[in-house]
Amino acid sequence: NITVGGSELNVAAGVARLGLSTAWVSRLPENPLGRMVRNKAREMGVDTSAILWTKEDRLGLYFVEYGASPRASSVLYDRGQSAISRIQPGQVPWKAVFQGCRLFHVSGITPALSDSAAAVTAEAIRAAKAAGALVSYDLNYRLKLWSPEKARQIQTPFMDSVDVLITTEEDVERVFGITG
């Protein structure tokens, strides 16, 4: 079964189902898989006009094998050299994207994909704050994508600009070393 998803897109689709205006910013390959993702987002009521298209890169994938007790589900990530992992600072016209925006949501999965994706995440958070938007951040820590040390190094500076943090006690302990 093929399904389209991703942390930020899932949030945008859920918000659209509540009847609110949403948009999704990403970088996709200009091929049938990229268009399938864009079309599914549009089907769910999400504005996709800010998608960046690339002819050179591939779509990041992940595979889920659902477990049955006592065996847990398993996830295999195939995101190396994906279009979004190769996004660069300055490529997204954030001022235009955030015009009229009330809330910007991003997850810890995006900056985990590459150093450039982390830099773009920081750029987006700064631009959202400059536009007067609230910033929602889902820590969404994935050990298979980066170490706790790297996650801490990259994400700690974000926290000064985050208005709503979504996380678990376990992830806060893993990433920030905070307990209690």
Distance CA 114, CA 80 (A): 9
For 105-116, what is the mean pLDDT?
97
For 41-45, what is the mean pLDDT?
98
pTM of the model: 0.93
Percentage of the chain modeled with pLDDT above 90: 92
In the chain, the amino acid numbered 55 is K
Angle at 3 between CA 164 and CA 78, to 5 degrees: 80
Distance CA 115, CA 107 (A): 15
Angle between helices 169-176 and 148-155 (to 10 degrees): 90
Task: Say which residue, 79 or 176, is predicted with more confidence.
Answer: 176
Distance CA 9, CA 34 (A): 14
Least confident of 64-78, 100-114, 147-161: 64-78
Distance CA 138, CA 167 (A): 6
Residue 77 has pLDDT above 90, yes or no: no
Residue 57: predicted pLDDT: 95
Residue 11 has pLDDT above 90, yes or no: yes
Residue ranges with strand state E in 36-131: 52-54, 61-65, 74-78, 103-107
